[in-house]
Amino acid sequence: MAASATTQSVSQTIVSHLIKQSKDLSRIRNEFDSVKRRMCEEDSSLNNLPNEKALDKIVNLETVMDFEWLNRLIMEALRIQSPTRITSNMAA
């Protein structure tokens, strides 16, 4: 239950941000296109795939860290929608 709630809130935060900030959406799309171009050079069968199918083949455990801007966005969303309470031993 907890993991699905975190995924839901972080996904909502990311989608909301991308709706408001189209330049960030463009950066993520450009990042995907760049990784796709690199992978198409290695495997020409990826060239003619539609983006949805290319996404399934291109984004995996080996390539996910190549998406620097997307990773930054996810980390910022996790910071804003923290999966745990923020506590401190210091008195306010």
pLDDT tens digits along 17-43: 999 999 999 999 999 889 888 888 988
Query: In what helix (H) or strand (E) does residue 86 lie, and over which residues does it extend?
Result: none
What pLDDT, on a 0 to 100 scale, did the predictor assign at position 1?
59
- Interhelix angle 22-42/51-58, rounded to 10 degrees, is 70
**What radius of gyration, in Å, describes the C-alpha atoms of the chain?**
17
pLDDT tens digits along 56-82: 888 888 888 889 999 999 898 888 877
pTM of the predicted protein model: 0.70
